[in-house]
Structure 1
Amino acid sequence: MADVEVVEVQTQKFTNNKEIIAYLAEKFPLCFSTEGEAKPLKVGIFQDLSEALEGDERVSKTQLRQVLRQYTSNWRYLHGCREGAQRVDLQGNACGVLEKEHAEHAAEQLQTAKAKLAEKRAAEKAANAKPHKKGRNKISTSGQEAQSRKTNTHLKRKPKLDLTSVDMEKLSVNDVVKVKAGDRTQHATVLEVYKDSARVQLNNGLVISVNADRLFNNN
């Protein structure tokens, strides 16, 4: 007779509370939920869960305690804990009415949780705003410094003009004058003289006609 090989299937345990809550909602859908407003749970629900899941190797009692603590402090659950609301057991059966003091305690927990979240978000917003503001000032300052350097450079490079206009009546051929072109001046030799202008040759050999207001003495 051939030997029969026995294959042992190892059950994989749940690794986080989210998986366990999803499992409980699947196994006890009239009691637990993963969406919408949660129903208030029966007082002593932990004992019922321990007995119902006894032998289930995927979840331990320690995990169940942690999951119930997280589930009952969730905003969905606290919203559902109103005075007069029906508590339910694992099968969804009504198991007593939520008392006023329990409803008030749930409301306080919800208010505290919302306040902590608002405080946390405000702190994160402030922390994110500071570097941004600092960086913006840095960029602005750098821009101002660059503009200042540019302006200073421009001022330094701008030539200082100390020019005296020529007297056209005294201007003669072969006189050396200065010709103004924008902010620059060039030396030139007079070739011809007219009433309000002159024909000159620049040092680079270029011959041009220049109005009197652009001609200055070479001194």
Structure 2
Amino acid sequence: MTTPTEQHVKATSVKDVLAYLSSQFPACFSLTGEAKPLKIGIFQDLAQRLEQDTTVSKTQLRQALRVYTSSWRYLEATKVGVARVDLDGVTGVVIDEAQAEHALKTLEESKARAAEKRKAKIAEAKAKNPQPTAVDKPGYKKTANKKPAGSSKGTKVNQKPVKPEAEQQAKPAVQLQPVAAEHVVVGGKVLLKLGQSPMLATVLEVSKDDVTVQLGSGMVIKTRQDSLYLA
């Protein structure tokens, strides 16, 4: 009678069963590397060898063998001319063409199913976390260039140029009065006569008879004091 310490721990998953079979029958089963095609009827041999072993049940053995023989590693090893092995690694009959073709077809179908599952998982992940698209970005509309009302191609529209507000306010009085020298100070307002229309300006600098002024449009002009008038 075996003691508790001599008893094997009962396998609880297919992975545990395969690991146990690999440790008990290393010449037949393997977890890595190239697999060996199994002898037909290997289940009966396993059931007989492990009849008194409580580590695995017959149901677990069937499940483990189904998983092992449907793995890509096992199917890739099932080729024409390769000999099958028993539990002790002794070679027996070789795989024929029909068996090899069946293994290849099973392998291709298995890989196709795996690829479809990967695609489905990727699609599901994208659905849960959609990436922002161009629609989500704020749009910027360009303002259309509006044509003046009443205008058409080939028709000229007489429009007076709009003067800056400061220049509009600089309409001359009935009679311009020259500005006295003592009133020409930095920051002071004066009228500068350019052409026919005097314009309002601000004195920036005074240097004897030369005065630098800035128009309402921002233009800076250097002129003589006698060209300035009272604002």
Q: Same fold (TM over 0.5)?
A: yes
**What is the match of residue 57 of structure 1?**
54
- Matched residue of 2:190: which SS? strand
Matches within 5 A, 1:97-112: 97-112=94-109
Cα distance in 2 for partners of 1:78, 1:191 equals 99
More helix by share: 1
| SS in structure 2 of the partner of residue 14 of structure 1 | coil
8 Å Cα contact 2:169-2:200 kept in structure 1: no
Alignment check: 8 A CA contact 1:83 1:103 kept: yes
Instruction: List aligned pairs for 1:103-142, cutoff 5 A.
Output: 103-130=100-127, 134-137=130-133, 140-142=134-136
Structure 1 segment 44-193 matched on structure 2, within 5 A:
44-130=41-127, 134-137=130-133, 140-144=134-138, 165-166=167-168, 170=172, 191-193=189-191
Decide whether aligned partners of structure 1 residues 110 and 142 sit closer, same or farther in structure 2, where only a CA change above 3 A counts: closer
TM-score by length of 1: 0.66
**Identity across aligned pairs (percent)?**
39
* Cα offset, 1:129, TM superposition: 3.8
After TM superposition, give the deviation of residue 46 of structure 1 in Å: 0.6
1:144 alignment partner, SS class: coil
Q: Where does the alignment leave 5 or more consecutive residues of structure 2 unmatched?
A: 144-161, 178-187, 203-212, 220-231
**Residues 119, 162 of structure 1: CA spacing in aligned structure 2 closer, same or farther, 3 A cutoff?**
farther
Larger Rg: 2
Deviations 1:17-39 (A, max 9, x none): 11111111111111000001210
TM-score by length of 2: 0.63
**In the alignment, structure 1 residue 21 sits paired with structure 2 residue 18:** yes
Deviations 1:50-72 (A, max 9, x none): 11111111100110011001100
Q: 1:102 offset after TM fit, Å?
A: 1.4
Q: Does 1:40 align with 2:37?
A: yes
- Report if the CA contact (8 A) 1:168-1:212 is conserved: no
Equivalent pairs counted in the alignment come to 174
- The answer to whether the 8 A contact 2:201-2:216 is kept is no
Q: CA RMSD in A?
A: 3.4
